[in-house]
Amino acid sequence: MPLKTIASLDVKRLEILDVNGNVDKALMPKVNDKTLLEMYRLMFQIRRFDERAILLQRSGRLGTYPMITGQEATQCVPPLALKPSDWVVPTYRGGGVYFARGMQMRYGLLYWAGDDRGTRFPDGSNDMIFSIPVGTHLTQVAGLAWGQKLKGKGAVAVTYCGDGTSSKGDLHEALTFAGQFKLPAIYIIENNGWAISVPRKRQSASQTLAQKAWGYGVEGIQVDGNDALAVYKATTDAVERARKGGGPTLIECETYRMSHHTTADDATRYRDSKEVEAWAKRDPISRFKLFLTARKLWDTKKEKALEAETKKWIDGEVKAYEEFPAPNPLDMFANNYETAPRALIEQRAELEELLKFKGGARVLMSLPPTEGRFP
Amino acid sequence: MRVKTAAPAKTRTLNLVQAVNEALDVAMDADKRVMILGEDVGRNGGVFRATEGLWKKYGEERVVDTPLAEIGIMGSAIGLAITGYKPVAEIQFDGFMPSVFDQVVCHLGRIRSRSRGKMSVPLVLRAPHGGLIHAPEHHSESPEAYFCHTPGIKVVIPSTPYDAKGLLLAAIESPDPVVFFEPKLLYRSAKGEVPAGHYTVEIGKARLVKEGKDLTILTWGAMTVACEKAAERLEKEDGVSIEILDLRTLAPLDLDAILASTGKTGRCVIAHEAPNSGSWAAELSALIAERNLLRLHAPVARVGGWDIRMPLFRLEQYYIPDADRVLMAARKTLNF
C-alpha cells in the first residue's frame, strides 16, 4: 500500500511593517491612531527606562537587572489587545509587558533591588509575578485560562516564555492542556535568539518554534517580533478567537536580545558583534517612527516633547524608588500563611531578639513600621 | 576524622571555583568517558566560570551546551552513565533543581537496586548552593535536605578549595551517583593551598576545622565561615573551647566523627542555611539524641533559616544565620 500523507505543516510568518517603515496594506490590522501613538509611547519610554536601569545597576544602585532593549514591540504591544480583567504572566525580562499593563515602574526597580515590596501590580488588573525558574508558570497559565473558560465571561490568559524555555517539558504539558481543553490561552514565545549563551539554532532542531503548536492541536504562527503591527495583528486575532471559544494560540515572536542576558552576563564572550549590528537595523522603534512620520502622526516636535516627558517620568520613578525606606526585616514573616503558625510566631520573636542583640533595643524603634499580615 | 593525603609536590593558592575547574580538567584529561553537560557550560564557561576553558580544550562533544531543559540534562545524564560514560551534569542554580527531582527521586538512586545490581549510575550532579551573594530570587537556595532524604545517592558540599578539588575527583570516580553542592559565597572568597594533579578526599568523612572541648559546632558549606567567626568570639569573650566539624559529606554522614565529638563535648549546635524544620540538621539532632543522649549536658540546638521562603536579597542577611546567631545559640547551650 502506498504511503499516504495524513497531516502536514503549514507554518505562516506574519510581517506587516518593514525596516523602512513601509506597510503591507493588505495585512494592515484595524487600529486607530490613538492606539498607534500609544504603541510608540510605550516602546519609546520603556527603552529609555531600560537605559536608566542599566546605569543604576552599573553605579551600584540596583541589583542584577535583565535588559529589555530590542524586545519592546513583543512586550509592549500584546497588552494593548487585552482588558484589565484578562490574565497576563510575562517572563522575568518582562518590564515592557508590566509597563504596558500600567505598573508603576518604581516597583520594578524595587524588585530588582532585592526588595520584596517590588511585586506590586495595579489593583483591578490581573497581572501575575513572573517565574524565575523559567517556564514553570506555563501550565499554571493553562489553569488561569481554564478558570476564564469556566466563568464564561470571555476573558483570556496571555503568557510569555523565551526560546530557551520552549525546550522545557513545561511548554509541552501546558500546550497539551490548552489544546485538549480548548482553553482561551495565548502563549507567546519571545524568541530573542539567545538563552544566555546558547543560540536559538542550538536550542532545538525544530525549524521554527511556532510549529510546535501543531503537535497539540493549537493554532500557531510566527511573526516578526520587531514589527509592532504584526505583533498587534497576531495577538488581536488570537485574543478574538480565544474569547469566542476558538481555543489557544502559540505565537512565536522573532526578536533579538540586543544586550547581555542580565547585567551579570557578558555577551561579548559568546556572541559575534556583527550579528548584533545586523539586528540593530531591524530595530522595532525606529521603523515604527518612520511609519508614524509617513502617516503624519509624528514629527520632531512631538518627539522632543515625548523625550522631555519621559525624562521627567523616569526621574520621578527613580526618586520614588530610592525614597522607599529600608525594609523592616520582620516583614519577611508576614503573608506566609493566612494565620501564622506557632513556629513562625516563635521565630519572628527570635529575629527580634537577634536585632536587639545586634543593635540594642533602639534598633527596633528605628525600623519602619511592619507591613503585611501577621500573625 | 582527618583525611591524610601524601604531601604533594606542588601546591598553589586557588579559590574554590578554580579548584572545581581544576578537578574537572584533571578528570577529563585522565578519562575520556568524563563529559560535562549543562546550560552555558561550554563556550561561556559556566555562569560562575566553573567550566572555563574546558570547552576549548576538550571540544563540544565532551563539554556540552545543552538546551535549556533540566529534566533533559538529568535524564540524559542517567542514560549516559548507564551506558558507560561518566557525566558531570551542572544545574545552573540551586533554585532550578526542583525540576530534576522526578529523575533523582524516582530513578537516580534506585537503578542499581532495581536492576538487581546489574546497572549503576556513576554520575555527578553539580549545583551552586546557598545565599549571601545578592542574587535574584531562586538563586540562593539550600535544597540539600531533599537530596539527603533520597536513598541511593551521596550528597557532598565542600567549604575549602582543597576539599572542593579532592571531593569532586572522588565524586567523579564514585561508583554511585553524587550530588555535589558548591557554596557560591565561597566560590571566590575561599582561598587555599591546592595540590596540582590528581588527589582525592574520601567521601563520607568530616573535616575537623578546629579542636575544642566545651561545645561542638556541626556545619557545612558557607556556614563554616560564620561558625569559625562565632567560635573565635566565644573563645575570646567567654573563655570557652569550641570544636568545629565541617561535615563535607551530608549523605552518608560521618557518624563516627559526629558521635565522638558530641560525646566528648556534651554540647552541640548545628548551623546551616536551609529552613530549620525538616532540615538535615533535624536528622543530625535526632541521631545525636538517639546515640549520645546520656553523654549530653544540654539539648542539641539547631540554627537555620526561618521556616519561610528565602526573602529577596535586601533581607537575606537576616534570614541566613550569621555568626551572631551561632554565638547566641552556643551561649544558650553552654549556659543550659
| Pairwise CB contact (< 8 Å): B45 & A165 | no
Same structural domain, A247 and A341: no
Residue A141 domain-assigned?
yes
Same structural domain, A179 and A272: yes
Is residue A261 part of the annotated active site? The answer reads: yes
Same structural domain, A192 and A227: yes
Domain count, chain A: 2
Number of neighbouring beta carbons within 10 Å of residue A290: 17
Boundary of a domain, candidates A322, A339, A357: A322
Same structural domain, A248 and A362: no
- A164 near A195, Cβ under 8 Å? yes
Q: At what angle do helices A284-294 and A33-58 cross, to 10 degrees?
A: 150
Residue A71 domain-assigned?
yes
- B89 near B77, Cβ under 8 Å? yes
Which of B67, B307, B312 has the CB atom closest to A115's CB atom? B312
Q: DSSP string spanning B122-188?
A: --EEEEEE---S---TTSS---HHHHHTSTT-EEE---SHHHHHHHHHHHHH-SS-EEEEEETTHHH
Same structural domain, A53 and A122: yes
How much is the pLDDT for B196?
97
Q: What is the mean pLDDT of residues B91-109?
A: 97
Same structural domain, A143 and A276: yes
pLDDT tens per residue across span B248-269: 999 999 999 999 999 999 999 9
Q: DSSP string spanning A27-69?
A: T-----HHHHHHHHHHHHHHHHHHHHHHHHHHTTSS-S----T
Which chain B residues are Cβ-neighbours of A165 within 8 angstroms?
68
Same structural domain, A285 and A337: no
Q: Burial letters for B263-279: b for 16+ Cβ neighbours within 10 Å, e otherwise?
A: bbbbbbbbbbbbbbeeb
> Which of B310, B312, B327, B332 should we substitute to test contact with A (largest number of A Cβ atoms within 10 Å)?
B312
Same structural domain, A47 and A163: yes
CATH for the B207-334 domain, from 3.30.70.20, 3.30.200.20, 3.40.50.920, 1.20.120.50? 3.40.50.920
Is residue B139 part of the annotated active site? The answer reads: yes
Rounded to whole angstroms, the Cα distance separating A213 from A9 reads: 10
E strand spans, chain B: 11-15, 34-38, 63-65, 86-90, 124-129, 154-156, 178-183, 191-195, 207-210, 215-219, 242-246, 249-251, 268-275, 301-305
Name the residue range of residue A355's domain.
329-366
ipTM (interface pTM): 0.95
* pLDDT tops 60 at residue B1: no
* pLDDT tops 90 at residue B280: yes
What is the value of pTM for the model shown?
0.96
CB of A357 less than 8 A from some CB of B: yes
Residue A373 domain-assigned?
no
E strand spans, A225-352: 249-254
| Pairwise CB contact (< 8 Å): A132 & B325 | no
Same structural domain, A275 and A347: no
Q: Dihedral of the CA atoms B74, B78, B79, B81 (nearest 10)? A: 130
Same structural domain, A233 and A275: yes
CATH number, residue A79: 3.40.50.970
Rounded to whole angstroms, the Cα distance separating A195 from A173 reads: 21
Taking only the tens of pLDDT, chain A with its 375 residues reads 999 999 998 999 999 999 999 999 999 999 999 999 999 999 999 999 999 999 999 999 999 999 999 999 999 999 999 999 999 999 999 999 999 999 999 999 999 999 999 999 999 999 999 999 999 999 999 999 999 999 999 999 999 999 999 999 999 999 999 999 999 999 999 999 999 999 999 999 999 999 999 999 999 999 999 999 999 999 999 999 999 999 999 999 999 999 999 999 999 999 999 999 999 999 999 999 999 999 999 999 999 999 999 999 999 999 999 999 999 999 999 999 999 999 999 999 999 999 999 987 677 777 888 888 888
Is residue A270 part of the annotated active site? The answer reads: yes
pLDDT tens per residue across span B53-78: 999 999 999 999 999 999 999 999 99
Cα separations (Å) of B119 from A70, B102, B106, B150, B175? 50, 19, 15, 18, 10
Same structural domain, A273 and A335: no
User: What residues of chain A, 256 to 285, have a C-beta less than 8 Å from chain B?
Assistant: 264-265, 269-270
Rounded to whole angstroms, the Cα distance separating B293 from A206 reads: 62
- Per the prediction, chain B carries an average pLDDT of 96
Q: Which residues of B touch A (CB under 8 A)?
A: 39-40, 42-45, 47, 65, 67-72, 95-96, 98-99, 134-139, 277, 306-309, 311-316, 318-319, 324-325, 328
Gap from B275 CA to chain A (nearest CA, Å): 11
The reply to whether CATH 3.40.190.10 applies to domain B11-195 is no
Same structural domain, A313 and A356: no
